[in-house]
Amino acid sequence: MSKFQQAILKLSNLSPDQTSGDEEKSDMLQTIEQARKEMNQAKGFFDMVTEPEQVDQAIYALNAAEKKYVFFLKKAREAGYKVETKDIYLNM
- Asked if residue 4 belongs to a domain, the reply is no
Is residue 12, in this structure, part of any structural domain at all?
no
Rounded to whole angstroms, the Cα distance separating 45 from 2 reads: 24
Note the pLDDT tens digit of each residue in 57-83.
999 999 999 999 989 988 888 888 776
For the chain, the three-class secondary structure string (H helix, E strand, C coil) is: CCHHHHHHHHHHCCCCCCCCCHHHHHHHHHHHHHHHHHHHHHHHHHHHCCCHHHHHHHHHHHHHHHHHHHHHHHHHHHCCCCCCHHHHHHHC
What pLDDT score does 8 carry?
A: 54
Please indicate, yes or no, if residue 80 is contained in any of the structural domains.
Answer: yes
Residue span of the structural domain in which 47 resides? 39-92
- Answer whether residue 61 is part of any domain: yes
* CA of residue 29 relative to chain centroid, distance: 9
- Specify if 1 maps to a domain: no
At 7-61, the pLDDT tens digits run 555 555 544 444 456 777 788 888 888 999 999 999 999 999 999 889 999 999 9
Instruction: Please state whether the predicted TM-score (pTM) of the whole model is above 0.85.
Output: no
The answer to whether position 53 is within a domain reads yes
